[in-house]
Amino acid sequence: MPQERLGNDEFLSALASLLLSTSSSGHGSVFLTQKPMPSSDVSQPSSQVLIRATNGASSAKPKAKPTSKVSKPQQGSTKQKIKLATVVETAHLDNFYTKYADVCKKGMEGLRKRDKKRAKEKAKAAKKKKGTTAN
Amino acid sequence: MPYFSDLNTYLHQSSLLIQAYPQTTRITTKYSQPRKVKSSKGTSTETEATSADAPNGTISKPKKEPSATLTLKTYHPDSGICLKYKTDKAAEVGRLMTGLGRLAKGEIIDMATGDGGETTTGAGVEIGSGQALVGTDTMEVDGGGAAGAKTAAQMTQGGQQQQSGGGGKKKKKGKK
């Protein structure tokens, strides 16, 4: 089944909204996968990287039509499966990953923030202990 | 397979696996949010209290709640090798993504500094290795150190690209 592939920028904005919807729903996962683009010529190293994102929902069956979703939600809050994919040229990897990282940093808000208060105390303690070994 | 405790170790090992099987190895990053504690058990007042304690967050996530986690897996399906790393620190996302970018390019990531093993960038490598010496404890604390590591990585990236035939020297990164 050929998967529909988005352009790099489209993918990133779709990923941003996927992450946003995940964090606003308060529960859920986002899976990001990267692998070399499978090429027909095995001996040649692939010059493209395939990047996929999904929310991991299991309702990807074709019978889950958009109409039935509105009229009768079958199992309460069954999530629609979201699948995104894009292909990045190796030459554009740096650029893409910079943006990709930004999207992830913004989207993954549930992670622990750096605790500045505690960090300061820790830093002080470390300074006292180690002196100037750090530099 | 156990989890690696250190991001650099994970990246290093992953780069070796990718070097061995460049075509079939894949990396999956899973961002997982735990189910929120139901507020029906009278925890709503507690939640309010905690969020009042920490008014710095735009997200009203109390500190006591389990945070979201980020799990990385480098998997080679034929051999079944799976390398894993798990973190819950927002500060690591940037470094992590930089690492994934370099893995996507098939670079070898060095164990100590996280650089490509090329010593073309003296200053950058120094910063990086200094940070590695201090260890993980200080890494999460020291914002300057992390920034240093990032620049080091970036600098090495530039070097790597040049040596690999200059495959598109895109260095127009939005500097902040």
Q: How many domains does chain B have?
A: 1
Q: Whole-number mean pLDDT of chain A?
A: 79
CATH number at residue B132: 3.30.720.10
pLDDT at A18: 93
pLDDT at A133: 55
d(CA A1, CA A82): 16
d(CA B97, CA B107): 14
pLDDT at A61: 55
SS3 annotation, chain B:
CCEECCHHHHHHHHHHHHHHCCCCCEEEEEEEECCCCCHHHCCHHHHHHHHHHCCCCCCCCCCCCCCCEEEEEEEECCCCEEEEEEECECCHHHHHHHHHHHHHCCCCCCCCCCCCCCCCCHHHHHHHHHHHHHCHHHHHHCHHHHHHHHHHHHHHHHHHHHHCCCCCCCCCCCCC
Optimal mutation site among A89, A95, A111, interface B, most CBs of chain B within 10 A:
A111
Would B23 be classed as within a structural domain?
Answer: yes
Answer whether B24's CB lies under 8 Å from B77's CB. Answer: yes
Write out chain A residues lying below 8 Å of B35, CB-based: 26-27
What single letter denotes the amino acid at residue A113? K
pLDDT at A27: 84
d(CA B157, CA B37): 43
- Beta-carbon contacts below 8 Å between A and B: 159
Tokens of B77: 């399906």
State the ipTM, two decimals: 0.72
Chain-chain contact of A49 with B104 (C-beta, under 8 angstroms):
yes
pLDDT at A11: 94
Q: What is the pLDDT along chain B (176 residues), one digit of tens a residue?
A: 689 999 999 999 999 999 999 889 999 999 998 877 665 544 444 444 444 444 554 444 444 567 889 999 999 999 999 999 999 999 999 999 999 999 998 888 887 654 444 433 333 334 444 444 444 444 444 444 444 444 444 444 444 444 444 444 444 445 44
- The angle, 0 to 180 degrees and rounded to 10, between the axes of the packed helices B143-163 and B92-104 is 10
Nearest CA in chain A to B36: A26
Question: CA of A41 to nearest chain B CA: how many angstroms apart?
Answer: 11
pLDDT at A131: 61
B3-36 residue pLDDT tens: 999 999 999 999 999 999 988 999 999 999 887 7
d(CA A39, CA A54): 23
Nearest CA in chain A to B105: A90
Would B30 be classed as within a structural domain?
Answer: yes
H-helix or E-strand containing A86? strand A83-89
Chain-chain contact of B26 with A122 (C-beta, under 8 angstroms):
no
Q: Around Cβ B137, how many Cβ atoms within 10 Å?
A: 11
Chain-chain contact of B32 with A29 (C-beta, under 8 angstroms):
yes
As its CATH architecture, domain A8-69+80-130 has: 2-Layer Sandwich (3.30)
Sign of the Cα torsion B92, B98, B103, B108 reads negative
Residues of chain A predicted below pLDDT 50: 60, 63-76, 134
Structural domain of residue B114, as residue ranges? 3-35+65-163
Write out chain B residues lying below 8 Å of A35, CB-based: 24-27
What single letter denotes the amino acid at residue A123? A
Would B137 be classed as within a structural domain?
Answer: yes
Distance separating the N- and C-terminal Cα atoms of chain A: 55
Write out chain A residues lying below 8 Å of B50, CB-based: none
Q: Which residues pair with A86 in a beta bridge?
A: A6, A51
Answer whether A27's CB lies under 8 Å from B38's CB. Answer: no
Would B17 be classed as within a structural domain?
Answer: yes
Structure letter (DSSP) for residue A18: H
pLDDT at A56: 83
Write out chain B residues lying below 8 Å of A8, CB-based: none
Q: Where are the domains of chain A?
A: 8-69+80-130
